[in-house]
Structure 1
Amino acid sequence: MKKFIALFFVLLVLSSCSEYQKALKNDDTAKKYEVGTKMYEKGKFGKALRLFEQIAPSYQGKPQAEKLFYMYAKSYYAEEQYYPAGYQFERFASTYPRSEKAEEAAYLGAYSFSKLSPRYSLDQVDTFKAIDKLQTFINNYPNSQFLPEANRIAKELREKIEKKNFEIAKQYNTIADYKSALIALDNFIADFPGTPYKEKALYYKLDSAYNLAINSVQAKMEERLITAKNAYTSLIKFNASTEYKSKADDMLARIETDLKQFSK
């Protein structure tokens, strides 16, 4: 009995494979649609996708098109091909705005673009694009069941952009380009006033101002020492018990010592 069941299962698999291969080579679009739907429902999204790719252009405007293009987009998504998935979901949502799947498609389209966002150290063009897509979804579907998740992902992407900007500003300090560091850090603090990196940014601003001042020519030193002292004040005002307190105090002592020569 067990051998019979095993044999039946093998024959069933072979039959399914044979049906798929025939449909793949067949010019009958209706057959491709039928087999592609079967593959989709069985979770064989790669096979479904190959068939849907062959027939999608010829099904535009047909009664079955709505179902086909939803399965088409979902198959790309399941195969983690997020760029074409995002494109197809967006196209579905705009083509079938009254569809019961339109909201889900709009969300999955935006979500697919978010999956293209690289790590923070790389170019963030795709991250900005994903944020725009998610914000459009949030604006269009303010009562959506997907809203909490969309807001969470958008927040994570914005935090990635924030970290990217902080690391760029900090990098100027690291390579001892202190003038550029001061400009970049000031811009960062202005652009992201509530950032969790603010204390670090204020410290690196102090460090940059301090190093720029003590290495200045005499004619520019006083003004730059005062700028550095103001940077110290900003850091301590933000957090009097900052983790950088010891280093900051050492810098202040040097600043005040050097300033004495200008008070004579």
Structure 2
Amino acid sequence: MNKFICFLLIIVSLSSCSEYQKALKSEDLAFKNTTANDLYEKGKYTKALRIYEQIAPAYRGKPQGERLFYMFSKSYYNTGQYYLAGYQFESFASSYPKSEKREEAAFLGAECFYRLSPRYSLDQGDTDRSLAKMQKFIDTYPDSEYMPKANEYVKELREKLEKKAFEIAKQYYTISDHRLEYNAALKALDNFILDYPGTPFKEEALYLRFSTAYKLAMNSVEYKKEERLISAKTNYSSFIKFKPESEFKPKADEMLATIDKELQQFSK
């Protein structure tokens, strides 16, 4: 019995392969479409794609192409070809504005760019594109069933951009060792804090800004030193006001004590 079942499976498999090869070579669009759809329903997306790619130009923009282009797009998506899937989903949503699948296509198209978004340390072009497309989806379909997932993606993408921006600003601080570089670090940290007021990196950014202001003051020429010491002390106040029990407070307090000691010479 087991041998018989295996034999039947082999026959079915060979028949399926034969139909696939026949469809690839056929000039009959309807037959090719039916075969591709059958392969899609069986989860054989790579094979379905080869046929969809052959017949897509003949159906583009036509009403009868709606189902084909949806499955075509999903086949790219299901095989992890997210650039192509994103393009096809956007094309589908544009070509079939009244389709019941349009909302899903718009979401999946935006999600494709989310999946292409790299880790924060790399170029964030795809992250920016994904965020823009996901925000457009949220604005267009505020009551969508996909809204919880879309909001989750937006939060994650924004945090990634924040992390990238913070690491860039932090790098200015790390490499600074003279007055010009201290000023560049201060500007970078100021811009980060201004651009991302609710960032989870604000505590460390405020501490680094204070630390940079301290280094700039301590390495200043004499006629600018008092002014910069006072400015550093103001930065300390902003830092402590934001996080009184910060993990960076002990180091910050040591620098503040040095600032107060240095300022004494100007009060005499």
* Pairwise CA distance, 1:75: 0.2
Q: Which residue does the alignment assign to 2:59?
A: 59
Partner of 2:123, secondary structure, is coil
For residues 94 and 103 of structure 1, the distance between their equivalents in structure 2, rounded to whole angstroms, comes to 11
Residue 14 (structure 2) aligns with:
14
Number of aligned residues: 264
TM-score by length of 2: 0.96
Please name the residue that 1:178 is paired with.
Answer: 182
Distance 1:163 1:63 in 2: 45
| % identical aligned pairs | 62
Deviation of the 1:173 alpha carbon:
0.6
Where 1:196 maps in the other structure, the secondary structure is coil
Once the two structures are TM-superposed, the CA of residue 217 in structure 1 deviates from its matched residue by 1.6
**Partner residue of 1:79?**
79
1:154 matched to 2:154? The reply is yes
Residues 97-116 of structure 1 aligned to structure 2 (within 5 Å): 97-116=97-116
1: distance between equivalents of 2:174 and 2:27? Answer: 63
Unaligned 5+ runs, structure 2? none
Q: How does 1:1-264 map to 2 (within 5 A)?
A: 1-176=1-176, 177-264=181-268
Check whether the contact 2:61–2:95 (CA below 8 A) recurs between aligned residues.
no
1:70-121 Cα offsets, whole Å, 9 max, x none, are 0000000000111111111111111111111111111111111111111111
Deviation at 1:231, TM superposition (A): 0.9
Q: Distance in 2 between matches of 1:83 and 1:200?
A: 36
With over 3 angstroms needed to count, the CA separation of the structure-2 counterparts of 1:243 and 1:88, relative to structure 1, is same
TM-score, normalising length from structure 1?
Answer: 0.97
Supply the AA of the counterpart residue of 1:258. E
**Partners in 2 of 1:251 and 1:194 — Cα distance?**
26
Whole-Å separation in 2 of the counterparts to 1:238 and 1:62: 60
- Cα distance, 1:6 vs structure 2: 0.7
Aligned partners of 2:130 and 2:170: how far apart in 1?
26
Q: What CA deviation, in whole Å up to 9, does each residue of 1:161-211 have, x standing for no partner? A: 111111111111111132111111111111111111111000000111111
Query: Shift of the alpha carbon at 1:64?
Result: 2.5
**4+ residue runs over 3 A deviation:** none
Are residues 124 and 4 of structure 1, via their aligned partners in 2, closer, same or farther at CA, if it must alter by over 3 Å?
A: same
Partner secondary structure for residue 118 of structure 1: coil
User: Is there any run of 5+ residues in structure 1 with no aligned partner, and where?
Assistant: none
Q: What is the SS of the residue equivalent to 1:179?
A: helix
Amino acid of the residue matched to residue 179 of structure 1? Answer: N
Q: Secondary structure at the match of 2:122?
A: coil
RMSD between aligned alpha carbons? 1.1
